[in-house]
Chains A and B, each alone.
Chain A
């Protein structure tokens, strides 16, 4: 069964550094999402992406964040200048969809980002 994959599984970085988290969604999926979970807190929506543009973003997703689908397979989340409070588990998800359907979102295993 196809799965969403994410790399790396764990990323350690220094405050102020740029990080890129990578995701490979399921191949025929059209809608892509990033969520994050700070330790002990809820899973929070960051951004959704469709047709090569952001369709919705949360207030967390400020100018330090960007997403990109550089080729036909990868979906990346970039944090330009990491802060201590960016330390979290970041989940990528994808679904097939048309827009108003309730197709299941399939989640990747997550990338644990630690900012020192």
Chain B
């Protein structure tokens, strides 16, 4: 069975500091990995996915199959990055259901 682990429940950083959110997964096949973000009082929305290899709002994430990780990074955090971040995994051969990690709350202080 697949599992996603986000070891940090809360990350508090100052504006302008780097931020890294850790995500590890367990799955024997070739999963698709995603980061979803939920801003205060808003819905879950896709931030980025590994196959796109793109940077969204300054965030990047690299899939490391050897370490089974998909950490999310941003070199200079902004106050508007304060939100709940969820790492998720899907198996395209299994209907694309998402398996979520427990989430990391990011608080960017001025």
Contacts and interface: CB of A to CB of B under 8 A. Distances in A.
A57 to B, nearest CB: 9
Contacts, number: 63
B100 interface: yes
A33 B93 contact: no
Interface stretch (B18-26, B40-48, B63-71, B72-80): B40-48
Interface string B31-58: 0100010000011111001010000000
A105 interface: yes
A45 B97 contact: yes
A42 B103 contact: yes
Q: Main SS of the interface on chain B?
A: mixed
Contacts of A99: 92, 95-96
Nearest to A47: B97
Contact of B95 (A43, A56, A110): A56
Contact of A42 (B51, B97, B101): B101
Given A102-B32, A109-B43, A42 B100 contact: yes
Interface in A44-79: 44-45, 48, 50, 55-56
Interface of B: 32, 36, 42-46, 49, 51, 86, 90, 92-103
Interface of A: 3-4, 31, 33, 35, 41-45, 48, 50, 55-56, 91, 93, 95, 99-110
